[in-house]
Homo-oligomer: A and B are copies of this chain.
Amino acid sequence: MATTADAEPVSETAADPTEAKVGDLVERTAASIRSWIITGKARPGERLSEKAVAETLAVSRNTLREAFRVLTHENLLVRRPHAGVMVAVPTLASILDIYRVRRMIEGQALRGALPGHPATDIMSQAVETAERARDEKDWRTAGTANMEFHRGIVALCDSEHLDRLYATVSAELRLAFGLLANPEYLHAPYVARNARILEMTLAGESAAAAAELDDYLVQSERTVAAAYSRRASHEQA
């Protein structure tokens, strides 16, 4: 957000009705900024001025500060005392941590999966969307469907806590993707693997599905970490 010209005030009709319950301005404001971050509209390391953002979103400074506080606790923003907030700059350590968490949670989820679990519907639909998007070379949609697939895996646990943890971890990962050159191709080739994991899960072969997933995550981590290491140099305070 170098310039403020291309941003809209916080919308009344929230984009994601599942997250932002209408009537909570702070939460809607946080959702707006969150979407700036995960779509790359606000880049890592970029400083967000209270006055500028408040004017852009047409909210008061107090309201904005509450939203900042929330996003800071989600590790999407970093506060420096008396120096404002900036978009978090992912480190290699944070990326490795994210994948460690994913392997633990998603692996356990698949190992304990029951074939008839309602969350398999989320997974099925995500695979379907991803395959269609891939055929149309719509990598953005394919990427979103990919993350939705893994959200479905976590949902197999039936745990609100794990769902929430995964949501924040997922947002952090998308922030990290923003550092990469062309993130689309990163998860594009994995559409087929997701389909196989789904098949195995529906067939009740949970151990095989978990093994396949673990291999997927190891490979994905390696790809992302490598891309991170060879990215253009950048510095952080």
Which A residues lie at the B interface, using CB under 8 A? Answer: 23-24, 26, 62, 65-66, 69-70, 73, 81, 94, 97-98, 100-101, 104-105, 108, 157, 159-162, 165, 169
Contact = CB atoms under 8 A, between A and B. Distances in A.
B98 A161 contact: yes
A157 B69 contact: no
A81 B157 contact: no
Given A24-B81, A73-B73, A81-B24, A159 B101 contact: yes
Count copies of this chain in the complex.
2
A197 B81 CA distance: 42
Contacts of A73: 70, 73
* 4 A-B pairs with the lowest CB-CB distances in the bound complex, closest first: A101-B161, A66-B69, A62-B62, A165-B165
A182 to B, nearest CB: 27
Contacts of A26: 69
Given A66-B66, A101-B159, 10 more contacts: A23-B81, A24-B81, A62-B65, A66-B69, A69-B69, A69-B70, A100-B157, A104-B108, A104-B157, A161-B165
Given A62-B62, A81-B23, A81-B24, A162 B69 contact: no
27 contacts: A23-B81, A24-B81, A26-B69, A62-B62, A62-B65, A65-B66, A66-B66, A66-B69, A69-B69, A70-B70, A70-B73, A94-B160, A97-B159, A97-B160, A97-B161, A98-B161, A100-B157, A100-B159, A101-B161, A104-B104, A104-B105, A104-B157, A104-B162, A108-B108, A161-B165, A161-B169, A165-B165
